[in-house]
Amino acid sequence: MVAEEYLKAGAIARKVREEVRRMYLIGMSYLDVVEFVERRIREEGGEPGFPCNISVNEVTAHYTPFEEDGKVVKDGDVVKIDLGVHINGYIADTAVTVCYNDEHLRMLGRNEEALMRAIRLVRDGVLVGRIGKEIEDTAHAYGYKPIANLGGHGIGRYRIHTGKSIPNVWVPSEERLRSGEVIAIEPFFTTGKGAGYVIEGGIGNIYSLLRRKKLKGEAGRLLDLIWERYKTMPFTSRWLKDEFPNVRELLGELVKKKFVRAYPVLVEANGEVTTQAEHTMIVGEGGATVIT
């Protein structure tokens, strides 16, 4: 593990997250918000580790706009902005919820509290289920529900998800955190009326490479470029449209042939509003080093 690159990616992620937290987003288009975040990451010397997500109200994760998306942030919205920064493939993943709805401010505060409580438990040997229990107990103590089928994850070089999960609810798993691992913890809360899980809600604009093969033609050129530039990290058609004006058609073809995966948008199953908070950290013997 190269701590220096993680720390640098984390510092950029933190800086850009705090900039967007302080911005007045009402009236801004979703496209302007994500392009601001991605531009600022590059200006600071990083690269986006995945397309900036802007998931509003009951839309909970994996929404990034297409070029022609006309949606605008409105008064009353609960706006989750999830951003990643990588330096040479070392990724920092963080999220902030900007809440323009008084009804949900308290939920957001408790969601952030749950993240802090979870981070306090991080150390070598702790059961991942213990972290999930802390998040779940915090939600329930205040009358909220955690989103059970979303959660934190291990992070590896060029890999936003290593396969290790850090759940948002208690699970009877023997899996433990280990010193030296890089992980993200990301509780999501919904209201007491929420289902407490997300379902797929239509196609998004986030993709990642599944497998490589020499292919003929334009789709083959695109597949080579994806590997060269993003490896297995998520990307969006927005980043490729200048080089490939028909990128969406080509991506459709690559998805159909299972070379590329398309991430569906995830929506709270009862249509209730959700909040999110997320940090990336390095697990140490006695505690976490939060890098974001």
φ, ψ of residue 224 to 5 degrees: the values are: -65, -45
- Report how far residue 291's alpha carbon sits from residue 8's, in angstroms, rounded to the nearest whole number: 8
Place of tokens 């975040």: 37
How far apart are CB 95 and Mn ion at their closest, in Å?
A: 5
73 or 206: CB nearest Mn ion = 206
Told to check if 82 binds Mn ion by CB under 5 A, we report yes
148 or 184: CB nearest Mn ion = 184
What DSSP string describes 114-134?
HHHHHHHH-STT-BHHHHHHH
243: Cβ contacts below 8 Å, ≥ 6 apart: 225
46 or 250: CB nearest Mn ion = 46
Binding mask 160-179 for Mn ion (x = CB under 5 A): --------------------
Told to check if 134 binds Mn ion by CB under 5 A, we report no
- Report how far residue 132's alpha carbon sits from residue 177's, in angstroms, rounded to the nearest whole number: 12
46: Cβ contacts below 8 Å, ≥ 6 apart: 8, 9, 12, 13, 85, 86, 87
* The binder of Mn ion chosen from 139, 184, 250, 254 (CB under 5 A): 184
How many residues bind to Mn ion according to rule CB under 5 A? 6
95 or 107: CB nearest Mn ion = 95
Active site residue 186: yes
How far apart are CB 220 and Mn ion at their closest, in Å?
A: 31
CB 66 within 8 A of CB 108: no
- Report how far residue 34's alpha carbon sits from residue 123's, in angstroms, rounded to the nearest whole number: 34
How far apart are CB 214 and Mn ion at their closest, in Å?
A: 32
Q: In 3D, which of 20, 33, 21 has the Cα closest to residue 69?
A: 33
Told to check if 93 binds Mn ion by CB under 5 A, we report yes
How far apart are CB 148 and Mn ion at their closest, in Å?
A: 16
Active site residue 104: no
Told to check if 268 binds Mn ion by CB under 5 A, we report no
How far apart are CB 121 and Mn ion at their closest, in Å?
A: 18
Active site residue 161: yes
Task: Report the catalytic residues.
Answer: 82, 93, 153, 161, 186, 278
